[in-house]
Amino acid sequence: MDLIPKPDQVVSAASNLAHKVFYGGLADLRPMPRTLIDEGTLREVYHYRPAAKVKEVGDPVLLVTPLAAPAICYDLRRGCSLVEHFVQAGRPTYLVEYGEVSFKDRNLGMEHWIEEVVPTAIREASAHAGGRPVHVIGWSLGGIFSLLATAADHDLPLASLTVVGSPVDVSLVPLVAPLRPLLNLGGGRGLVTRGYQALGGAPKPLVKWAYQLSSFQKLVTKPVAKATHYDDTEFLAQMEAVDRFTDGMIAYPGRTFGQLYHRFVKANGLVTGTFDLGEVTGEPEAEGRTVSFADIDVPVLVFGGATDGIAPVPAVKAVVPLLTGSPEVRFEIVPGGHLGMLTGRAARTSTWTVMDEWISRWSTDPDAPSEDSDDTDDDATGPSVSAIGTGRRGTGSAASRALSR
């Protein structure tokens, strides 16, 4: 809104205010309809029902939720919902989420997600879709777990893997780097270790506070931004949806939080591209079982958000040279922060467009939704690593190309 608002801005602002007063908000927060098809310990696999008069065709998509974040990250609000986008296009769409984490789950470690939850969800989605291979999309820690699960199990029915805002080199995360010397104070059982062990994990309020801290500038300037955009219905609706997302943060199980803290944050354990599952489980018989990103043999699409403070572009891009066994690796920079790059207003014409092209390119079903394609360079041998903002065929999104200059 201008410093001296125009008449039409005043009318729009008054209309938005009235709508909030009488209807409670501007965002359409109705969830996309879905059906539970499988469940287990902290595992719920859902199939989203096809849109009216739209036939499901092609290989299925499985959305992998990160720990601690609510599954509405993929279904933020109508018009800014990746789920809605896929369903309306006729893509069979599935999601795995974890439900509420309680004190009784404190002994569950990362191996539960790497070796049980994610692989089971992939197989269930494939079976429900008639045995088709699955395009897995993981955001944030969901992307990390998807990478590790794919590297650990070569028999998964996968068509491709997409990771969105998943930091592999944590030393390049600005929020973590200044704290690393402090994390080592007090030896092996410092204040953080004693704290999460006593609480049985990281409780919801702490997770919410940490997420808000990562966007501290936006948090501080939020009242001003809201006041100056009161005539912008879309802006206010998005703010409402993001607030609901933040309020829905979930706790971390104690053992998993400890592993993430010690292995990822303190030791930067993924930067070499290998991960010892024996060290994760702590079981003697599992010692020596090392998984490697180099063993991932499916196409991998990697997204970095241009303004992501939680997973900045260099921290995410670090995975690209580690994926030497993949037939194609494509890296894209897209507009937005950590959540915005996935489901912000700009994602409709950037992230989602690239996803659509990628899934169509690697679809095994001739009846799958597809786009006009260029020369696919089928005679190329060995892994192909695309440049930032471009695909193997040089068809990166305009937004990515502009941001990569």
Enclosing H/E stretch for 44:
strand 43-48
pLDDT for residue 284 is more than 90 = no
pLDDT for residue 275 is more than 90 = no
β-pairing, 61-64 vs 134-139, is parallel
Map out the domains of the chain as residue ranges.
1-29+204-250, 31-183+254-365+379-404
Distance (Å, whole) CA 205 – CA 211: 10
Residue 10 vs residues 21, 95, 340: alpha-carbon distances, Å: 16, 42, 28
pLDDT for residue 293 is more than 70 = yes
Distance (Å, whole) CA 64 – CA 164: 11
pLDDT for residue 371 is more than 50 = no
- For position 243, what pLDDT does the model report? 87
Mean pLDDT value of segment 335-349: 94
Contact by Cβ (8 Å): 69, 250: yes
Mean pLDDT value of segment 13-40: 75
- For position 6, what pLDDT does the model report? 60
pLDDT for residue 3 is more than 90 = no
pLDDT for residue 140 is more than 90 = yes
- For position 400, what pLDDT does the model report? 40
> Which tens digits make up the pLDDT trace of 88-117?
999 999 999 988 877 777 778 888 999 999
State the helix-helix crossing angle for 141-152 and 118-128, rounded to 10 degrees.
80
Tell me if residue 384 falls in helix, strand or coil. Answer: strand
pLDDT for residue 318 is more than 50 = yes
What are the phi and psi torsion angles at 221 (to 5°)? -90, 0
pLDDT for residue 64 is more than 80 = yes
- For position 116, what pLDDT does the model report? 95
Contact by Cβ (8 Å): 371, 354: no
- For position 334, what pLDDT does the model report? 98
Tell me if residue 156 falls in helix, strand or coil. Answer: coil
- For position 13, what pLDDT does the model report? 56
Distance (Å, whole) CA 157 – CA 285: 27
pLDDT for residue 373 is more than 50 = no
Distance (Å, whole) CA 262 – CA 180: 11
Mean pLDDT value of segment 329-342: 96
| List of residues 6+ apart from 141 with CB closer than 8 A | 66, 67, 68, 69, 166, 260
* More reliable by pLDDT, 82 or 385: 82
Angle at 172 between CA 171 and CA 173, to 5 degrees: 95
- For position 382, what pLDDT does the model report? 38
pLDDT for residue 292 is more than 60 = yes
Distance (Å, whole) CA 176 – CA 168: 13
Distance (Å, whole) CA 214 – CA 174: 10
Please name the fold of domain 31-183+254-365+379-404.
Rossmann fold (3.40.50)
Give percent of the chain with pLDDT exceeding 70: 65
Beta bridge partners of 81: 75
**Per-chain mean pLDDT for the chain:** 77
C-alpha radius of gyration, the chain, whole number: 21
| List of residues 6+ apart from 75 with CB closer than 8 A | 31, 32, 81, 82, 83, 84
- For position 212, what pLDDT does the model report? 47
| List of residues 6+ apart from 283 with CB closer than 8 A | none
Q: 395: which 2 tokens?
A: 């068809």
State the helix-helix crossing angle for 233-247 and 7-23, rounded to 10 degrees.
30
Residue 220 vs residues 33, 216, 229: alpha-carbon distances, Å: 35, 6, 16
pLDDT for residue 25 is more than 80 = no
